[in-house]
Structure 1
Amino acid sequence: MTWTCDVDTLNPAVTGAAVSMASSVVWALTGMRFGTCEVTLRPCRRDCGGSFFDDFGPPWTGSWSYPQPALIGGQWLNLTCGGCAGDCSCSTVSEVLLPAPVNRIVAVKVDGTPLVTGAYRVDNNRLLVRTDGGEWPRCNDLALSDSEVGTWSVTAAYGEDIPDGAALAVGQLACEIAKAAAGGDCKLPAGLQQLARQGVTISYPDVGELFRQGRTGLYLVDLFVATWNPHGLRQRSRVYNVDRPTVRRTGT
């Protein structure tokens, strides 16, 4: 956050509360869009090895780079390896499917030991691909902590990074809140709409209408809000797929 006024003479408790309040206000006005959180996942590997099970009979084992015809239930079907070997790749890719979209990977631990960053990458904001020649463990003992042998975990950051302009917007709003709380003059709009004195009439914006439009009357704050939430959304959009399997999130 960047202060846009001198706060050296203000009580630190007041400025701290002002920063907290300003951050919440700007976050709400931008549709609760920005900010990241870290989640530790305990996934299972997605690969072409092992067996292919169907509803008609025994498993079909093996890994293939092209469709294999098989007679199942009186019908000829092409069995593939599950789709993890891409169309332009001749090798099997060891990958796990994470809840999307992933902002960044914070850490990956296998048998309690963190892997180096170059040992993996993220594709399509959701596929964690092994790039060091190794394979993701097939088993993940969920009865143990991810610091133990026989386990592995992925700690990923979800959400959207805060834009640089937010520092100025929050700073300006925090300044005016702090000055108002200290009993000083501030630029926050009051309930006054018109002032007439010595033949001069000054009109002020309707504070109620400002708030209904998601505005504060402060230039930097309103500029930031208009840029990142021009349609006044209350919260960011979400898409739910109730049929898709989820990845276990430990401790939640």
Structure 2
Amino acid sequence: MPYIGADGVWRNASLCGCKSSCSCGELSEIYLPGPVYDVLEVNDGGTILAPGLEYRVDAPGRLVRLGGQRWPTCQEMAEPEGAPGTLTVTYRWGLELDAAAIAAVSALVCHLLRGCSGSGGPCGCRANPRATKITRQGVDIERQDLTLLYAEGLTGITEVDMWLMSVNPGRLRQASRVYSPDLRRPRVTTFP
């Protein structure tokens, strides 16, 4: 069946009976919730599978079996891990952090530890968030009202706020998405 592609070129659609957007044969895959950072172990009935040879992870969180093998269709829930008829996937959830994100998280943790250590420093979580002006021995100190910062999605810690503003300048609550029923997203391998 002829059609015009996104690039404006005429193409002939394949009538090979494709079951998914990327393969004429059905892929054996399992959906893993959340963004998959990496897979630590796949245990199929006591056999540890090798990443890249026996499985891979395609975005968004699809664990794909390789080598013509299939994932088990039934799980023995009463059996311990590694017993015949069981499948266990151990993976870490999340996204890879860059150096700026690591610096921001480090600054936030240091800030919280300093305030919760009992030293009573003015910057930690023991500080009174409602006090905006302090006068003592002829010195006036005026602090920014942190409730205004919190309402903006900021913390009051320079490194953290700079990172937040660089990755989310529009202060969106979740990533924007655009869907088109005419275009299929290409399959992308994310691990290994």
Class of the TM-score when normalised by the shorter of the 2 chains: 0.5 to 0.7
Aligned to 1:220: 159
Cα pair distance change 1:166/1:207, threshold 3 Å: closer
Is the counterpart of residue 156 in structure 1 residue 111 in structure 2?
Answer: no
Q: 1 or 2 for the larger relative contact order (CA 8 Å, sep ≥6)?
A: 1
Q: Distance in 2 between matches of 1:139 and 1:208?
A: 52
Cα pair distance change 1:230/1:148, threshold 3 Å: same
Runs of 4+ residues over 6 Å off in structure 1? none
Q: Normalising by structure 2, what TM-score?
A: 0.57
Cα pair distance change 1:201/1:132, threshold 3 Å: same
C-alpha displacement at 1:94, in angstroms? 4.0
Q: Normalising by structure 1, what TM-score?
A: 0.46
Is the counterpart of residue 173 in structure 1 residue 111 in structure 2?
Answer: yes
Aligned to 2:44: 110
Secondary structure of 2:94's match? strand
Cα pair distance change 1:100/1:210, threshold 3 Å: closer
> Which structure's CA Rg is the greater one?
1
Q: Distance in 1 between matches of 2:35 and 2:116?
A: 37
Cα pair distance change 1:66/1:213, threshold 3 Å: closer
Cα pair distance change 1:150/1:173, threshold 3 Å: same
Aligned to 2:133: 193
In structure 2, stretches of 5+ residues that fail to align are: 1-13, 178-192
- The alignment yields a C-alpha RMSD, in angstroms, of 3.8
In structure 1, stretches of 5+ residues that fail to align are: 1-64, 68-79, 240-252
Aligned length: 154
Q: Is the 8 A contact 1:172 1:220 kept in 2?
A: no
Aligned to 2:75: 140
C-alpha displacement at 1:121, in angstroms? 0.8
Q: Is the 8 A contact 2:56 2:64 kept in 1?
A: yes
Cα pair distance change 1:182/1:197, threshold 3 Å: closer
Within 5 Å, give how 1:74-113 maps onto structure 2.
80=17, 83-84=19-20, 86-87=22-23, 92-103=25-36, 104-113=38-47
Q: Distance in 2 between matches of 1:85 and 1:210?
A: 46
Q: Distance in 1 between matches of 2:165 and 2:21?
A: 44
Is the counterpart of residue 182 in structure 1 residue 115 in structure 2?
Answer: no
